[in-house]
Amino acid sequence: MSSNFFAQQDLARRNTRVLVVLFSLAVLMLLLLTNIVALVSLGFIDPGFFSAPRNWQSLPWHLVAWVSLVVLAAVGIAVLIKWQQLKAGGKVVAESLGGVRLSPDSKEPLQRRLLNVVEEMALAANTPVPAVYLLPERGINAFAAGYSPADAVIGVTQGCLEQLNRDELQGVVAHEFSHILNGDMRMNIRLIAILNGILFLGHIGYYMLRAGSRGSAIRAGTSRNNKQNASGLLFLALGLVVIGYMGSFFGNLIKAAVSRQREFLADASAVQFTRNPRGIAGALKAIGSHSSSSQIRSQNADENSHLFFGEAISRWAAIFATHPPLATRIKRLEPHWNGKFPTPRGAQTAAEATTDSEAAPAKPTNAERLQQALPLLLLHSSRQTEPATALVCCLLLQQDDGIRRQQLHLIKEMGSATLLQQVDQLCDAVAMLNEVQQVQLLQRLVPALKSLTEARFVQFEQLLQALLQAIPDAGLTPWLVSQFVEHSVAVQYDQTQIVRKTSAKPLAQLQPQVLPLLALISSVAGNEAQQQQAWQAALAQLALAADTAKPATDLAALSRHLPLLLAASPLVKQQLWQAIEACVRADQLIVQQEKALLLALALLLEIPYQAEADN
């Protein structure tokens, strides 16, 4: 399945280029229309000017140049402003739609069921557990937003919680995780910024029209020339409003062009995660029978309509729909569906939601991994802010008594006595987990760690670095733990940590960053001969010479290299992942430790990967 997601991420990347081309064409069209409206309204030409081809030679080209410059500047500024607003990632989108972030340890039954399902799907997709936002909307809908899995959020409407059963809710959430893995989120956020530029001219015209109507009484007694000027400005404002509607026309066409096929793909991927087509099909049927359908009432729903699970805005023409028709989507999932929507159901009660067990198993592709439920002590602790920091410390504690004493001293001095007490209470339970369960635990900690204040997180970062440095010749596992927290949690506080675009560099240019990582991975293969075997397997996969020197392990340098690897294009990441797998699988025997290693590496590098279940 991983190669499929690599291909779909690359397709989403290419769709972004198509989006830029369509945007450029739309801007050129709007530029032409704005020039015509401006020249006519300001009296430089009359409407019949364009009837004779020779008249084009006498156009006031200097004015055309100025109008074009102003229009391009206005569109560019509008795009940049929206881009700046969206820099903080998915949480900005969720908040703009009225979303309220749910506490990771919420006890409200409907919310708890949603949070459980999101955790399960994150484990199935091998991504950090995202923050969850609840939208106060009656319609049945949901969305995923962000630039990458590290800053992704899931938004779900109140109607979704109340109207869907657990299987249906799981299907909807799996659909949104498919958008995360398919690389659609980054494209969708860019679409928001780009379309804001197209619509900006219409906004200018609207405000000019309002200003003109307010000043009409003042101009009633002015001179004829002033009245003519005012009429010209009102005509210009009206023309810009019309152009704005045309911009909306182009914008909706662009959204429809780039999003509809991605919805079919996300539906199919959701079935791969849940292995239950009835879940997502049932959710679509519920939308078809619900009085509010999937409608979103927020004033920002239109610009974000392409993000949602269902059609968020009513469209007067099917060509503008951002989603395929409900019946078509259901038929693809259930070919024998009779075409009838079920009887509308009432809102679920809290009592019905509590029938969902605390660790209810999902039906993921890798069922084995999700069936390994964590002890309730660790499960509850992972959802609370301060205990979550203690659990990260536990994952870094070493078995050597001398190193462990030093690390515990650092926890007390750089953290607190309370933190040390929590570590002492939890460390035995963490030590009893197998390697795969420890990776699962790390994934679950992200929402609680993102609830830390910025000052507290900075203090926690310093403690993690000190714990890592206390380990002589620290190997791959401690580095993976610390770097995962650094990357996946730091994006909450530092926007520069968010990977917003991919690099065009081929793998050959990334060898100075790739080879040290492969050398570190090969160092955990076993004895010296096995390490060399793993190194040679990685080189062969990359088609490099067998005598390529193995670089020394430098964790600080690897940490500096990580942003370049995270920004690699999907196809380059696929090549990198094939080399990593060759390195780990060199002995042709995948044990529990190696499964966990692959999961943790994919998690850190934001590479779509799901471990194969044992037969």
Residues 390-447 have pLDDT tens digits of 999 999 999 999 999 999 999 999 999 999 999 999 999 999 998 889 999 999 999 9
Q: What is the pLDDT of residue 55?
A: 58
Q: Is residue 494 part of a domain?
A: no
Q: Measured in Å, how far apart are the chain's first and last C-alpha atoms?
A: 17
Q: Is residue 596 part of a domain?
A: yes
Whether 204 and 306 map to the same domain: the answer is: yes
Strands 142-145 and 153-157: antiparallel
Whether 49 and 167 map to the same domain: the answer is: yes
Q: Of the candidates 300, 335, 365, which is a domain's last residue? A: 365
Q: What is the pLDDT of residue 2?
A: 42
For residue 35, what are its two tokens? Answer: 């020039």
For residue 602, what are its two tokens? Answer: 């994919």
Whether 360 and 384 map to the same domain: the answer is: no
Rounded to the nearest 5°, which phi and psi values hold at 250? -65, -40
Q: What is the pLDDT of residue 351?
A: 54
CA atoms within a 13 Å half-sphere pointing along the CA-CB vector of 307: 29
Provide the edge-to-edge strand list for the sheet that holds 142-145.
100-101, 131-135, 153-157, 142-145
Whether 519 and 439 map to the same domain: the answer is: no
Q: Is residue 41 part of a domain?
A: yes
Spatial CA neighbour of 252 closest among 322, 182, 326: 322
pLDDT tens for 277-290 read 899 999 999 999 98
Whether 348 and 382 map to the same domain: the answer is: no
Whether 281 and 166 map to the same domain: the answer is: yes
The segments of the chain whose pLDDT lies below 50 read 1-3, 216-222, 224, 226-228, 357-371, 614-615
Question: Rounded to whole angstroms, how far apart are CA atoms 278 and 301?
Answer: 28
Q: What is the pLDDT of residue 541?
A: 94
For residue 414, what are its two tokens? Answer: 């750089």
Read out DSSP for 324-337?
Answer: --HHHHHHHH-TT-
Whether 436 and 522 map to the same domain: the answer is: no
Whether 238 and 322 map to the same domain: the answer is: yes
Spatial CA neighbour of 236 closest among 211, 199, 196, 209: 209
Domain tally for the chain?
Answer: 3
Rounded to the nearest 5°, which phi and psi values hold at 268? -65, -40
Q: Is residue 515 part of a domain?
A: yes
Whether 299 and 393 map to the same domain: the answer is: no
Q: Is residue 502 part of a domain?
A: no
Q: Of the candidates 320, 350, 365, which is a domain's last residue? A: 365
**3-class secondary-structure state, position 100:** strand
pTM of the model: 0.85
Q: Of the candidates 330, 365, 400, which is a domain's last residue? A: 365
Question: Rounded to whole angstroms, how far apart are CA atoms 120 and 117?
Answer: 5
59-68 b/e with 16+ CB inside 10 Å = b?
Answer: eeeeebeebb
Q: Report the catalytic residues.
A: 176
Which residue segment(s) compose the domain that 408 sits in?
367-484
Query: Which residues have CB under 8 Å from 64's CB, separation 6+?
Result: 35, 39
Q: What is the pLDDT of residue 318?
A: 61
pLDDT tens for 472-530 read 888 888 999 999 998 899 999 988 888 888 888 999 999 999 999 999 999 888 888 88
Read out DSSP for 413-470?
Answer: III-HHHHHHHHHHHHHHHTS-HHHHHHHHHHTHHHHTTS-HHHHHHHHHHHHHHHHT
For residue 464, what are its two tokens? Answer: 């993690």
Whether 359 and 434 map to the same domain: the answer is: no
Q: Is residue 110 part of a domain?
A: yes
Question: Rounded to whole angstroms, how far apart are CA atoms 40 and 21?
Answer: 29
Whether 415 and 520 map to the same domain: the answer is: no
Other CB atoms within a 10 A radius of the CB of residue 84 amount to 10
* Helix ranges, 182-276 (H): 184-214, 224-274
Query: Which residues have CB under 8 Å from 584's CB, separation 6+?
Result: 521, 525, 534, 590, 594, 597, 598
Question: Rounded to whole angstroms, how far apart are CA atoms 398 and 394?
Answer: 9
Give ∠ CA 373-160-182 in degrees, rounded to 5. Answer: 65
Whether 295 and 401 map to the same domain: the answer is: no
Question: Rounded to whole angstroms, how far apart are CA atoms 423 and 426?
Answer: 5
